[in-house]
Structures are given as structure tokens and as C-alpha cells.
């Protein structure tokens, strides 16, 4: 029973880490897109 619980915990931890990395990637991409849009809008408005 203890081994099964440990395995489940390991799998859960791995899933949590994977989900965390995916969310970090999504947030990083969104931030980069927002920065690019702001720069584009500013450069467009400056002309």
C-alpha cells in the first residue's frame, strides 16, 4: 500500500511539474506577444 501511494505521489508530482512548466511557457509567450503589440502600436502611432 505504501509503495502504491509513493508511486501515485511521484506521478502526481511529475504531472504538477509538467503543468507548471506548460503554464510558465504560456505566460512567457503571452508576455512576449503583449510587449510586441505595445511596441508595434507605439511605433505605428509615432509615424
At 32 the pLDDT is 98
- Flag whether 7 is in a domain: no
Number of domains in the chain: 1
Q: How far apart are CA 35 and CA 25, in angstroms?
A: 15
User: pLDDT, tens digit, for every residue of 1-47?
Assistant: 445 455 555 566 778 888 999 999 999 999 999 999 999 999 986 55
Domain-embedded: residue 27: yes
CA gyration radius, the chain: 20
**pLDDT value at position 1?**
46
Q: Give pLDDT, residue 13.
A: 74
Query: What is each CA distance from 33 to 2, 8, 27, 29, in whole angstroms?
Result: 46, 37, 10, 6
What's the pTM value of the predicted model, to 2 decimals? Answer: 0.60
Domain with 31 in it: 22-47
Q: Is residue 40 part of a domain?
A: yes
Amino acid at each position: 500500500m505504501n509503495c502504491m501511494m509513493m508511486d501515485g505521489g511521484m506521478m502526481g508530482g511529475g504531472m504538477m511539474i509538467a503543468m507548471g512548466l506548460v503554464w510558465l511557457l504560456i505566460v512567457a509567450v503571452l508576455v512576449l506577444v503583449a510587449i510586441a503589440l505595445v511596441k508595434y502600436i507605439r511605433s505605428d502611432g509615432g509615424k
